[in-house]
Chains A and B, each alone.
Chain A
């Protein structure tokens, strides 16, 4: 997955679309039975950002991309293909 390309595309979206995208990826992470594969420091950072309402920025987006890519790479790729058409 080309993270740079995905991040550039993210920045082109309006705020509502960014939130929807992040929620979609968060759903993949929360519904995954493989979250033990996510590096703990990434997981804790996501939780801190989520609870302080700061997940919906570029840093938050990059973190959840990394987490979803660790636990559900195929689902993430399919989701991004659909969302970023």
Chain B
């Protein structure tokens, strides 16, 4: 399965055009990322679900710090009325940098996510939830099952995702980290007596495609910076990234000095955290990910310095694998 990630930082009419191209190039759905400084992913999802009757729309991801579990359940149930069987909900701990900007400390992320998924799932399945704090009965019925994906990056969140998720949005692009992630999800699934093939394992890739590598790198730089700042110490070490540069990048992101960011972040770090390349390189990466056991490839922003061209290049990759599947 192939999908796109759209960031609602552009006007809705522009997201409509990109959604239309997504439909044409053969993706099955669109994940909408949620950031407090962008347009609401929930309202954008309403609009796109009505505009594109063939595509499913996922919100990836809502975090329990900014969205109460009851709100997430209410959103999922309402969206299922707009588009039954075409709604996916992603739940995750949220991006540390964005939460800090909102004055929120990301405390106990595992517990928070686990409890949130439990509440949302119970309300969606039984229309009722009760514990020592919450007592809620939903006044309407969700029109279809809404799969819950867990957004995960670190070892413990990946295992939790294997235990409780209907799917996992693995937030890495580096092939070594994606391989590591599959193994962690598998372990989590086994601990819960589940099989890995019960889950939709999605590689949520950060893509910047162009024939001109320097332009692709420049486009990917802010995305790479956010990935590096949000990554735990374990990944920083695994990727061989100098912690001093991480600190510099954090400081630069806080003040929004983009020109300085382009000077500070080395190309090797950008390449280690995002996909930079053309059609053939992307085919190679996707083939590798399918072999590792991924069942969904999410082609994520920024796509490339020339979006229309990059989307067409991604379309070539999708067509290649669809023809491959048809041949089999």
Q: Which residues of A contact B (CB under 8 A)?
A: 23, 26-27, 29-31, 35-36, 38, 40, 43-44, 46-47, 50-51
CB of B140 within 8 A of chain A?
A: no
Inter-chain CA distance A40–B14, complex, in Å, is 10
Inter-chain CA distance A40–B20, complex, in Å, is 18
Whether the Cβ atoms of A31 and B306 lie closer than 8 Å is yes
Inter-chain CA distance A50–B16, complex, in Å, is 9
Summed over the interface, the residue pairs from A and B with CB atoms below 8 Å come to a total of: 41
Q: Please name all residues of chain B whose beta carbon is closer than 8 Å to the beta carbon of A36 when the two chains form the complex.
A: 10-11
Q: Please name all residues of chain A whose beta carbon is closer than 8 Å to the beta carbon of B306 when the two chains form the complex.
A: 27, 31
Whether the Cβ atoms of A43 and B14 lie closer than 8 Å is yes
Whether the Cβ atoms of B307 and A30 lie closer than 8 Å is yes
Whether the Cβ atoms of B10 and A35 lie closer than 8 Å is yes
Q: Please name all residues of chain B whose beta carbon is closer than 8 Å to the beta carbon of A29 when the two chains form the complex.
A: 14
How near does chain A come to B235, taking the closest CB pair, in angstroms? Answer: 28
How near does chain B come to A27, taking the closest CB pair, in angstroms? Answer: 4
Q: Please name all residues of chain B whose beta carbon is closer than 8 Å to the beta carbon of A47 when the two chains form the complex.
A: 13-14, 16-17, 20
Residue count of chain B within 8 Å CB distance of chain A? 13
Q: Please name all residues of chain B whose beta carbon is closer than 8 Å to the beta carbon of A27 when the two chains form the complex.
A: 306-309
Whether the Cβ atoms of A30 and B17 lie closer than 8 Å is yes
How near does chain B come to A36, taking the closest CB pair, in angstroms? Answer: 6
Minimum-distance CB pairs A-B, first 7: A43-B13, A47-B13, A47-B16, A27-B308, A30-B307, A31-B307, A44-B13
Which of A30, A38, A43 has most chain B Cβ within 10 Å? A30
Q: Please name all residues of chain A whose beta carbon is closer than 8 Å to the beta carbon of B309 when the two chains form the complex.
A: 27
Task: Provide a sorted-by-A list of 15 A–B residue pairs whose CB atoms are within 8 angstroms.
Answer: A26-B17, A27-B309, A30-B307, A30-B308, A31-B306, A35-B10, A35-B11, A43-B11, A46-B13, A46-B17, A47-B13, A47-B14, A47-B16, A50-B20, A51-B20
Which of A26, A40, A47, A51 has most chain B Cβ within 10 Å? A47
Whether the Cβ atoms of A31 and B308 lie closer than 8 Å is yes
* Contact for A26 among B10, B16, B305, B308, CB less than 8 A: B308
B 11-51 binary contact with A (CB < 8 Å = 1; else 0): 10110111010000000000000000000000000000000
How near does chain B come to A51, taking the closest CB pair, in angstroms? Answer: 5
Residue of B nearest to A49 (CB): B17
Whether the Cβ atoms of B305 and A30 lie closer than 8 Å is no
Residue of B nearest to A41 (CB): B13
Q: Please name all residues of chain A whose beta carbon is closer than 8 Å to the beta carbon of B16 when the two chains form the complex.
A: 47, 51
Whether the Cβ atoms of B18 and A30 lie closer than 8 Å is yes
Inter-chain CA distance A26–B308, complex, in Å, is 8
